Structure 1
Amino acid sequence: MNAPDNDLERRARELYREAAHRIDPATAARLRAARRTALDQSDRPSLAQRLLQLLLPAGAFAAIALAALMLSSPVERPLGSPAGLRSAVATDADGDLPPDAAAADPALYQNMEFYGWLAKNGESQASR
């Protein structure tokens, strides 16, 4: 299989060299000028390439700025455990039930008499 490919390649090279020797000087000059023009244009970056050269650093800078912003202002998390957070959310959903004793603030249970008095007298003072 290599032998026919080699013969074809060898024959194509011979024909190319023969045609290159028989070309007239005016055509050769035009071909060289066209080649130089094509090479000069390929060296200059296109509009898309120039735009990419500008946008790539800008995008990298934006990503770094976003990462710095996220690291400098962390999200505040509740001090309690996730289970305590779930019970507080459940308590907020149905306000008829008192908060779970394990999740509630212990300072709320210090003045239970005051809360009882407020429950009794708050309704009577609100009607006045």
Structure 2
Amino acid sequence: MTSPDKHLEQRARELWHEAAQRIDPATAGRLRAARRQALDAVQAPARRAVRWLIPTGAFAVIALATMLVWQPLPPPHASTAMQPASSADELDNELPPDADKTDPNLYQNLDFYGWLASAGSHAAAR
């Protein structure tokens, strides 16, 4: 700071202190009340947050416990004879399934499946 700025700041402080000492008691009381009210308003949100912290945490714990307790049970393990003919990895495989892993009824109408495949390719060509 330069010297004139410092001098101006000191003079402003002196005038403020002098004016603060000459305030009448009624105005000083109103200023103190306004100051208390402003400080209470600043501290009120913090109190509200603390007041809601415990119930919110308790609700989160209850929700977590409920999710852990009521998880769906895994399906019972079925024997291999009861499983469907093709699993998810076999669906992605482009090779036909092994004869021992598939339902024998699928081989009953092979002519129909051949016709269906050729009809699908003819319709796509049109």
User: Shared fold (TM-score greater than 0.5)?
Assistant: no
TM-score (normalised: structure 2): 0.43
The answer to which structure, 1 or 2, has the higher relative contact order (CA under 8 A, 6+ apart) is 2
Structure 1 length normalisation: TM-score?
A: 0.43
